[in-house]
């Protein structure tokens, strides 16, 4: 029985690299770079496995997960994203995802998550970032994406502008 895998990601170089790596691991890979293409691939032939990015150019990858879970409830789905948060992780799992990986994830981590193989998963880091550091990194990333505009960043983070200014003025936590 062939292991069919659908990869949905709008980062073309990443999609191509991951596709080749997963083919080398025995998967029959199909690729899509939009929500619409992903849903079309699911309708054409639901795969046994899927790796879906959350933020795509034409919408949310959760729509692809929902379509796949409706078509093939036993499909194993792994969510990839560079913008992870607890709410989307919970929603993805409720829709049928089995794991949630932060980008950039290597092929071994994706393979381990898809197959449930603990040997291929990434080991926990010896010194993970503190919660304060993770929060600070996220604020910095959003600040840069907003072209260092404090008011826009505060609005997007649902935070008071002065509070954000105080956070930005401090050094990064350890």
- 126 falls within a domain: no
The per-residue pLDDT for range 54-87, each reduced to its tens digit, is 888 888 888 998 899 889 988 899 988 776 666 6
- 174 falls within a domain: no
Structure tokens at 167: 């956070």
* Same domain flag for 17 and 72: yes
**Which whole number is the average pLDDT over 121-148?**
76
* Same domain flag for 163 and 112: no
Mean pLDDT for the chain? 84
Q: What is the extent of the structural domain holding 27?
A: 3-120
Greatest mean pLDDT among 81-90, 91-100, 144-153, 165-174? 144-153
CA distance 84 to 91: 12
Alpha carbon 42 to chain centroid, angstroms: 19
Residue 141 three-state SS: helix
SS3 sequence, 20-41?
HHHHHCCEEEEEECCHHHHHHH
- For 54-96, give the DSSP string: SEETTEETHHHHHHHHHH-TT-EEEEEESS--HHHHHHHHHTT
Domain boundary among the residues 97, 120, 143 is at 120
């Amino acid at each position: 029985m062939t292991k069919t895998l659908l990869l949905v990601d709008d980062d073309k170089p990443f999609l191509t690299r991951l596709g080749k790596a997963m083919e080398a691991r025995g998967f029959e890979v199909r690729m899509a770079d939009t929500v619409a293409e992903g849903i079309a691939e699911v309708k054409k032939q639901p795969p046994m496995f899927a790796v879906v990015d959350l933020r795509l150019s034409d919408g949310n990858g959760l729509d692809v997960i929902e379509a796949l879970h409706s078509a093939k409830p036993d499909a194993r789905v792994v969510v990839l994203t560079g913008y992870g948060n607890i709410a989307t992780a919970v929603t993805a799992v409720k829709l049928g995802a089995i794991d949630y990986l932060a980008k950039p994830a290597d092929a071994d981590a994706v393979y381990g998550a898809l197959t449930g193989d603990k040997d291929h998963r990434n080991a926990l880091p010896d010194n993970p970032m503190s919660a304060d550091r993770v929060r600070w990194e996220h604020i910095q990333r959003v600040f840069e994406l907003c072209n260092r505009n404090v008011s826009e960043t505060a609005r997007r983070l649902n935070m008071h502008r002065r509070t954000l200014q105080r956070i930005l003025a401090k050094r990064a936590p350890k």
